[in-house]
Amino acid sequence: MRILPFSDMPLKKKITLIAVVSSSISLLIACFVFMLNESLTFPKVMRQNLSNLAQIIGDNSTAALSFNDSRTAQSLLDTLKANPHIRSACLYDLKGQPFARYTRPGEPEKWPPVVWEETSEFSAGAVRVFHPVLSAGDRVGTLYLESDTGEMQTRMVNYTLVTILVGGAAFLLSLLVASRLQRQVTGPLNQVVERMKDIARGEGDLTKRLEVTGKDEIGEVAEAFNTFVGKLQTVEDMKLDLISVVSHQLKTPVAEINGFIENMLMGLTGELNPKQRSYLEEMRVIGRENYRLICDLLSASKIDRGVVTVDLKPISTKEVVGLAIRDYEAPLAQKGLNLQLEGVWQGAMLYADRDKLVEALRNLINNALKCTDKGSITIRALAEGDKGVIEVEDTGVGMDAETMERLFTKNRVLGKEAHRSGAGLGLYITKNFMKYQNGDITVTSEKGKGTCFKLAVPLFKPGAGGAL
């Protein structure tokens, strides 16, 4: 598992990490300070304790010392066996000679020479005490006690264990709590991020708003986001409205110009010389493209605004194809292309919007015409399950996979293919309009061999109140 640099870590992990590290550090510092204090003060405590013990034993041995009873003194020291930490002890008489001695089992038998003053020291793993033994104010001897520092070590080990246990528990607990609480922050934030990504991809529903969960900065982000999206929405709406309005306004003048051109070509303004004729013919072509483009813009804008209406009625394949191929006989003949019709004349009944279906078919025929220089264009009607299918197949240039991917979107690659592809919105509109008719359009193509577009709409089933 790679450790990410902090700045790349997801927010969830960051927050959890911060919480856990903070609490761990605090805990560790506290423990460290505590243990440090212990290690500094405990030696004093140990010395004090040993001195106290020496006092007690000393007091008890006054008689033994006073009356020279070394046996009693010995048995007194022997009671030290009960304290596992006492390493050795020695009672000295007034001359400084050992009077009674004790060593812990297993310890080497050595006792230091007597020290007359009251001393206690903590060093080299041992606590040592020299304690004058007094009887009613008279000195009767000296007591030496030596203990190991095991007690302190045990304490330290215990503290370390407890620290580790508590530390571990605290770590887990803070991990648990942090990972629960981080949701408060990351949850709303992730929502915003996801939503933004959706919108950037173009898949976001601009009418949906984010839930504002709190008054903190996250809440502010959500609110700002909502406002922002609202503005986007407004801009979108304005754009669509603009397109719609402008397109409408453009339709009339364009139609007028086209009309003038037609009249001129008809000779109503007088005889035309070849140059004039060729100019006007060029203008006519362009004018028609203009008009088509405006119509497409209007259709696309309707689709985007969601205001498409469909008029579904039963209609025969025969009628649809008949209307579609009207006026195309001449251009086809001009290019030397064959038009084949298969299965069209059978009485298949479709349930669709006549104008839209015919328009779609005409569009496909137009495309096929543009992309094919030799061979034929075939219009094929057949049934597939509960759908009626009309195929338009050509022997034209075909398309590569990349082009096909973007075929039905608004983002078509136009460029050198433009003059063959026509006004780029056609297939986007067709795709959507087919959807509104409960149908679809699909394509197969091979570069250099040809293309086949397939329109499918529901078959008309009488008596069921409409389509299947």
Partner 1 sequence: MSEKAAILIIEDQRGFRTIYGDLLADAGYEVLSAEDGEKGWQMSKEKKPDLILLDLGLPKMDGFEVLRHIRGDAQTKKIPIIICSVVEGEKSVQKAMELGANDYTVKGLHAPRQILDKIKSYLP
Partner 2 sequence: MKILKTLGFLAVLGLALSPPGGGGVAAQEFSEYTVKAAYLVNFIKFVTWPGKAYADDNGAIVIGILGEDPFGDTLDGMVKGKAIEGRSILVRRFESYDGSQDAALRRCHVLFISYSEKDRLRDILKALQGSPVLTVSEIERFPLSGGMIQFDQEGQRITLAINPAAAQRAGLTLSSRLLQVSKIHKSE
- The partner in contact with residue 67, picked from partner 1, partner 2, none with C-beta cut-offs of 5 to 8 angstroms by kind, is partner 2
SS (H, E, C) the chain: CCCCCHHHCCHHHHHHHHHHHHHHHHHHHHHHHHHHHHHHHHHHHHHHHHHHHHHHHHHHCHHHHHCCCHHHHHHHHHHHHHCCCEEEEEEECCCCCEEEEEECCCCCCCCCCCCCCCEEEEECCEEEEEEEEEECCEEEEEEEEEEECHHHHHHHHHHHHHHHHHHHHHHHHHHHHHHHHHHHHHHHHHHHHHHHHHHHHCCCCCCCCCCCCCCCHHHHHHHHHHHHHHHHHHHHHHHHHHHHHHHHHHHHHHHHHHHHHHHHHHCCCCCCCHHHHHHHHHHHHHHHHHHHHHHHHHHHHHHHHCCCCCCEEEEEHHHHHHHHHCCCHHHHHHHCCEEEEECCCCCCEEEEEHHHHHHHHHHHHHHHHHHCCCCEEEEEEEEECCEEEEEEEECCCCCCHHHHHCCCCCCCCCCCCHHHHCCCCHHHHHHHHHHHCCCEEEEEEECCCEEEEEEEEEEEECCCCEEC
- In angstroms, what is the minimal distance from the CB of 263 to partner 1? 6
Q: 113 has which bridge partners? A: none
- In angstroms, what is the minimal distance from the CB of 406 to partner 1? 29
- The partner in contact with residue 151, picked from partner 2, partner 1, none with C-beta cut-offs of 5 to 8 angstroms by kind, is none
- The partner in contact with residue 68, picked from partner 1, partner 2, none with C-beta cut-offs of 5 to 8 angstroms by kind, is partner 2
Residue with Cβ nearer partner 1 (208 or 313):
313
Residue with Cβ nearer partner 1 (261 or 344):
261
- In angstroms, what is the minimal distance from the CB of 247 to partner 1? 11
Residue with Cβ nearer partner 1 (251 or 431):
251
SS (H, E, C) 90-153: EEECCCCCEEEEEECCCCCCCCCCCCCCCEEEEECCEEEEEEEEEECCEEEEEEEEEEECHHHH
Of 47-55, 137-145, 228-236, 257-265, the window that binds partner 1 (rule: CB under 8 A) is: 257-265
- In angstroms, what is the minimal distance from the CB of 362 to partner 1? 11
- In angstroms, what is the minimal distance from the CB of 261 to partner 1? 9
- In angstroms, what is the minimal distance from the CB of 208 to partner 1? 32
Residue with Cβ nearer partner 1 (17 or 243):
243
φ/ψ region of 108 (left if φ > 0, alpha if ψ in -120 to 50, else beta) reads beta
Residue with Cβ nearer partner 2 (53 or 140):
140
Instruction: Name which of residues 350 to 389 contact partner 1 (CB under 8 A).
Output: 354-355
Verify binding: residue 260, partner 1, rule CB under 8 A.
yes
Verify binding: residue 256, partner 1, rule CB under 8 A.
yes
| Residue linked to tokens 């609202």 | 230
- The partner in contact with residue 401, picked from partner 1, partner 2, none with C-beta cut-offs of 5 to 8 angstroms by kind, is none
Q: Contacts with partner 1: how many residues (CB under 8 A)?
A: 20
SS (H, E, C) 274-337: HHHHHHHHHHHHHHHHHHHHHHHHHHHHHHHHCCCCCCEEEEEHHHHHHHHHCCCHHHHHHHCC
Verify binding: residue 84, partner 1, rule CB under 8 A.
no
- In angstroms, what is the minimal distance from the CB of 75 to partner 2? 9
Verify binding: residue 258, partner 1, rule CB under 8 A.
yes
Which of 209, 251, 370, 435 forms a contact with partner 1 (CB under 8 A)? Answer: 251
- In angstroms, what is the minimal distance from the CB of 317 to partner 1? 19
Which of 136, 266, 330, 464 forms a contact with partner 1 (CB under 8 A)? Answer: 266
- The partner in contact with residue 65, picked from partner 1, partner 2, none with C-beta cut-offs of 5 to 8 angstroms by kind, is partner 2
Which of 230, 259, 385, 466 forms a contact with partner 1 (CB under 8 A)? Answer: 259
For residue 112, count other CB atoms closer than 10 A to its CB. 11
Verify binding: residue 254, partner 1, rule CB under 8 A.
yes
- In angstroms, what is the minimal distance from the CB of 468 to partner 1? 23
Residue with Cβ nearer partner 1 (94 or 286):
286
Verify binding: residue 253, partner 1, rule CB under 8 A.
yes
Name the site residues for partner 2 (rule: CB under 8 A). Answer: 60, 62-70, 72, 74, 93-95, 97-101, 109, 135-140
- In angstroms, what is the minimal distance from the CB of 101 to partner 2? 6
Of 167-175, 266-274, 430-438, 440-448, the window that binds partner 1 (rule: CB under 8 A) is: 266-274
Verify binding: residue 311, partner 1, rule CB under 8 A.
yes
Verify binding: residue 263, partner 1, rule CB under 8 A.
yes
Residue with Cβ nearer partner 1 (89 or 361):
361
The contact set with partner 1 (CB under 8 A) reads: 251-260, 262-263, 266, 268-269, 291, 309, 311, 354-355
